[in-house]
Structure 1
Amino acid sequence: MAAPLMEKDVELGFVEETDKKLLTSRYFPSKIGGHPAWLSLDSLPTTDSLACRICKKPTSFLLQVYSPGAEQVEAFHRTIFVFVCTDPACNKSNTNDNFHVFRSQLPKVNKFYSAEPPDETLPGKDEINAASFNKICIVCGCLGPKTCSKCQSVSYCGKDHQTIDWKLGHKKSCTSKVKQEQEERLYPSLFPEMELVTETENYKPCDKTADKSEEEKMKEYKEYLCSQNSAEGLKDLSETELQKMASEESENDKQLRKFKKRLSHEPDQVLRYSKGGEPLWIACTPKPDNIPDCDCGSKRQFEFQVLPHMLSYLDVDKVGESLDWGVLCIYTCSKNCSIENTYHREYIYKQDVI
């Protein structure tokens, strides 16, 4: 008999407040929100490549995960970037058309950063960023090929963000005679900026379901229903009624219950990292039938997933429709193919609960 497959270790991601200067490019951060802390600094994704595939408007930077490839010289530094369109109308169930994922990697010796680790006791001392090599949009922090025609000192990725900046203050400060320093404003298109920190999941699967009596299973299921519905009436359900409800419970309901039970051990987790492992699905279906191969021809493998709890940190709750997801699963090239200083598109699978 073949030995059972061992579950890979999972690194759990949590959100923490920190000095914003430590969330810049030189410190190779993992973070959510704010401007991207680009890794490669002189060949950023184009405006077109970052546009939502549905509404064609700019997507917003969601998060980045620093995951160096120690086994490859050219991936000594390696970061995965995720972008999302915040328009609720583009947030369609089980589709990824409002997301973009890019991989960037560099060798230890490169033209941007010293080979020596940065001094975190003096944040900002030797900072270098993409603005040293490109015009950067003041609103989103992405490539900014457009410039204000009056002052010639502020750059934008396009008309949408120029309009936003004009309304939020640039109209008053703009001048064709004196170049104004770019003001730091709170733009509605940005998510709150926070650090992502990780720790190894301390979880040992112990499935004793097969050893439980029907009475124990019913009791456990009843407790689950009460926890989900917060209804006193459920506590008084008869065994017959419970059995009827249990028999009607779909496979997706069962998977959602397993998902919540696993996450309940660390309820504040917002991300699960397990390169080469398997996602923790929130539902049985749909699942990807075939993950597209990388452009280099290699297979892609699962790297990490973003959990729904991250939404609570993004200030996206609105009356009616809002940005939402079940899980976001990111797949990257299994060979970590050579991409030099460019940003290479990877794949994201969005699974929702129907």
Structure 2
Amino acid sequence: MSTAEVILGFLEEVEPWRLFSPQFPSKVGGKPAWLSQKDVPSLSQLECEICHLPMAFLLQVYSPLSGQDQCFHRTLFLFCCKTPECYSHNDSRCMKVFRSQMPRKNEFYSYDAPPDDEPPPEPYKGHNVLPVSGVKLCWICGCPGTKACSRCHSVIYCGKHHQTIHWKHSHKRECGSQESSGVSKSPFLFPEFELVTEPEAQNTKCKETEDIPTYVDETLAESFAETELEEIAMHETEEIKVFQRFKKRIAPEPHQVVRYHRGGLPLWVSAKHVPSDEVPPCSCGSKRVFEFQVMPQLLNSLCVDSTGASIDWGTVAVFTCSLSCSHENHYSPEFVWKQDFTDQINKEHETRDLS
């Protein structure tokens, strides 16, 4: 992907084989299409830092960097917790992101690009076991698994939590039958789509919203001194200005779910909770730069709404090593920042209808 312009990502339904690892997909939902088959993140690495339950795969972005041989293939993997209570305001501990990359000549994939008009000659088994490394994967989430069903020994899990989910969902009925290899669909996964991309039209770039009127809740007026009211009004005006700029920028393409602009700036939904000096450097010592963000529109397609609570975000920004350094570990942790809508933004916009 080019870094000179903003690239927009949209959801599209495709044949399943197009989302397998040898096709180097960008995709949302389903199981991760792991790039490197070594050092795949373990259960402990993929636990939510709040509830300590396994996170779910949210999306991956295939983002090779030109001019860097070690980044000929390069994918970023984003995971999120499925527990609604973990989505407290502006708390990013419910999300994690990993970077995997490799040169064109590697031990896992052909040197030549895969055909994009026909499925592979043999069914790809990478959703159950990684073909080259032999790493077994959890039936529920597609992450490395070390535990097998004690009865049939044919289904692998990353831990007891996912084994319990599968048993209650279908495995109690299927265990020991031909179905036990995983015919039924995992209830833990998000709906799966390809992430197709196109450049953002240049005329969508806009200046900051101007001349937005100040407002103050009159019922609070008697409780504050004049200087305090001016400060509140100024802050509320800035909040409206940032959100209106966000809405205006995405209005020409309201169905965008990802914005990619490596080295650029995120499109924030709020003037609050912006990581000015809070993005830590990479473990190699290099600074991290913004690479892509996930838009709130994606939530409409994830089937996550529930009575009383739901996973939620205003936008999720991913920052990666500016050098895209290589590590012995084939999956390098990067930095993710969740920003939520503020109370100043009308509740109707928090329902993700941003058109």
**Superposed pair shares fold, TM > 0.5:** yes
Say yes or no: does 1:260 pair with 2:247.
Answer: yes
> 2:12 corresponds to which letter in structure 1?
E
Aligned pair in 2 of structure 1 residues 199, 335: CA closer, same or farther (>3 Å)? same
Counterpart-to-counterpart distance in 2, 1:198 and 1:185: 31
Shift, 1:119, TM fit? 1.8
- 8 Å Cα contact 2:78/2:98 also seen in 1: yes
Shift, 1:174, TM fit? 1.9
Shift, 1:352, TM fit? 0.8
Aligned pair in 2 of structure 1 residues 208, 31: CA closer, same or farther (>3 Å)? closer
> 2:311 corresponds to which letter in structure 1?
L
Match of 2:130 in 1: 131
Q: Secondary structure of 2:169's match?
A: helix
> 2:146 corresponds to which letter in structure 1?
P
How many residues get paired? Answer: 317
Q: Secondary structure of 1:165's match?
A: helix
Counterpart-to-counterpart distance in 1, 2:115 and 2:164: 38
Q: Secondary structure of 1:298's match?
A: coil
Q: 2:311 aligns with which of 296, 314, 323?
A: 323
> 2:196 corresponds to which letter in structure 1?
V
Shift, 1:64, TM fit? 0.1
Q: Secondary structure of 1:119's match?
A: coil
Q: 1:113 aligns with which of 89, 109, 116?
A: 109
> 2:145 corresponds to which letter in structure 1?
G
- 8 Å Cα contact 2:290/2:319 also seen in 1: yes
Aligned pair in 2 of structure 1 residues 91, 179: CA closer, same or farther (>3 Å)? same
Long gaps (5+) in structure 2: 216-231, 343-355
Counterpart-to-counterpart distance in 2, 1:209 and 1:24: 43
Counterpart-to-counterpart distance in 1, 2:332 and 2:68: 17
Long gaps (5+) in structure 1: 1-6, 223-244
Q: Encode CA deviations 1:103-147: one digit per residue, 9 max, x unaligned.
A: 000111111101111122221325463532211100100001111
Match of 1:275 in 2: 262
Match of 1:293 in 2: 281
Match of 2:330 in 1: 342
Q: Encode CA deviations 1:251-295: one digit per residue, 9 max, x unaligned.
A: 112111110111111111111000000001111111113210001
TM-score normalised by structure 1 residue count: 0.84
Say yes or no: does 1:182 pair with 2:181.
Answer: yes
Match of 2:157 in 1: 156
- 8 Å Cα contact 2:289/2:321 also seen in 1: yes
Aligned pair in 2 of structure 1 residues 209, 104: CA closer, same or farther (>3 Å)? closer
Q: Secondary structure of 1:329's match?
A: strand
Shift, 1:89, TM fit? 0.7
* Percent of aligned pairs with the same amino acid: 47
Match of 2:58 in 1: 62
Say yes or no: does 1:167 pair with 2:168.
Answer: yes
Q: Encode CA deviations 1:186-238: one digit per residue, 9 max, x unaligned.
A: 2221100000011000033454977xxx7xx67xx99xxxxxxxxxxxxxxxx
Aligned pair in 2 of structure 1 residues 179, 150: CA closer, same or farther (>3 Å)? farther
- 8 Å Cα contact 1:105/1:341 also seen in 2: no
